[in-house]
Amino acid sequence: MPDTIVLPQANALTARDIDPSLDLEAEIARLRRERNAIILAHYYQDGEIQDLADFVGDSLDLSRKAAATDADVIVFCGVRFMGEVAKILSPDKLVLIPDADAGCSLEDSCKPEPFRAFREAHPDHIAVTYINCSAEVKALSDVIVTSSNAETIIRQLPADRPILFAPDRHLGAFMRRKTGREMTLWPGSCIIHEQFSERELVKLKTQYPAAKIAAHPECPEPILVHADHVGSTRAILDYVLSSPADEFIIATEKHIIHQMEKAAPGKRFIPAPGADGSCDCARCPFMALNTMEKIYLALKNDAPRVEMPEELRIAAKAPLTRMLEMSVSIGRRDAA
Ligand code: 13P
């Protein structure tokens, strides 16, 4: 099946063409209005991009928003697979991503041909695939999940069928422990969540004994065993805001702390440490590729835009639609 294409534009404006005195925020607001565009951002984006966005959310909330919007243009500030999901669910919209190179280590760990072979080697298994994958891998899957609906969906699957879970082995192992289901895991992981250090986390906890630990299920088990709460980015945010505690250690990409500090300025949020004890490693280099300049240029150039062959889109849409149908019990968040 042919690849997804991210189209650049000939003669496009580049960062060098931007007048340094331009008020980028005001220009983006003007273009957004003129184009009837919506700016969607994941919690892992830089704070100024989150503040500019019309909607900030986790992967499930963003997918729902992309499917339901009446905007003509979607500017997706996240990573490439999220832009693909928007195009798959809203094919008539122009879907722009600020940087075509914003990939994902989980997506990179699971290429379509080895994944096809993995499926063929387990013909009786249901393929449950994390949304952090390419459109091609989605097209080869039975149902897509995010970190906020994986348990809900897995519990609805026929109990007598074994499961293949790809590409995140840590989320898969967490689901195996929670649901007791038999699962064969693809050996992928997220470079950000993989680097948290249990030793440094325990050290940090002795420094802040009252701090609650909130972790994303993409973290390895030795991190999760110390967590007071494990959940998607949205669930972590809800947890820290509703908890009576005042201090939290956050084991996921650190830019989500922006939302926490805005909503609960009196509380303290500490990024979980990596192996050298430093905190700056909880920063996704792919998410960081998006900038205000690139959002402005995307709206000026109508590029990079996500396109894909219709055959691929239809095949990838089926397991994504199944995901949305099987997640109706999970509350919708329409404003963020
Ligand atoms: P959620 O958005 O489901 O919390 O997952 C985070 C993530 O992996 C984004 O790439």
CATH number at 204 reads: 3.40.50.10800
pTM confidence score? 0.95
State the pLDDT at residue 27.
97
In a domain, 336, yes or no: no
Q: Which helix (H) or strand (E) holds 194?
A: helix 191-194
Q: What is the pLDDT of residues 250-298, one digit of tens each?
A: 999 999 999 999 999 999 999 999 988 776 789 999 999 999 999 999 9
Expressed as residue numbers, the domain containing 117 is 106-190+317-326
Same domain, 154 and 227: no
Answer yes or no: is pLDDT of 126 > 90.
yes
Question: Which atom number of ligand 1 is nearest to the Cα of residue 62?
Answer: 2
Q: What is the pLDDT of residues 43-98, one digit of tens each?
A: 999 999 999 999 999 999 999 999 999 999 999 999 999 999 999 999 999 999 99
Give the pLDDT mean for 143-166: 98
132, 145, 330: residue to mutate for ligand 1 pocket, most atoms within 8 A of CB: 132
Same domain, 239 and 259: yes
Give the integer Cα–Cα distance in Å for 82 and 100: 12
Verify whether ligand 1 is closer than 6 Å to residue 59 (CB atom): yes
Distance 151 CA to ligand 1 centre (A): 15
Same domain, 86 and 235: no
Neighbour count for residue 250 (Cβ, 10 Å): 25
Same domain, 263 and 303: no
Same domain, 146 and 81: no
SS3 of the chain: helix, strand, coil, percent, to 5: 45, 15, 40
State the pLDDT at residue 306.
97
- Per the structure, the count of domains in the chain is 3
Residue whose pair of structure tokens reads 């906020």 in the numeric block: 148
Verify whether ligand 1 is closer than 6 Å to residue 148 (CB atom): yes
Q: What is the pLDDT of residues 239-251, one digit of tens each?
A: 999 999 999 999 9
Give the integer Cα–Cα distance in Å for 174 and 251: 15
Burial of 179 (0-12, 13-18, 19+ CB in 10 A): middle
Question: Which atom number of ligand 1 is nearest to the Cα of residue 232?
Answer: 4
In a domain, 335, yes or no: no
In a domain, 138, yes or no: yes
Question: Which atom number of ligand 1 is nearest to the Cα of residue 44?
Answer: 9
Same domain, 202 and 164: no
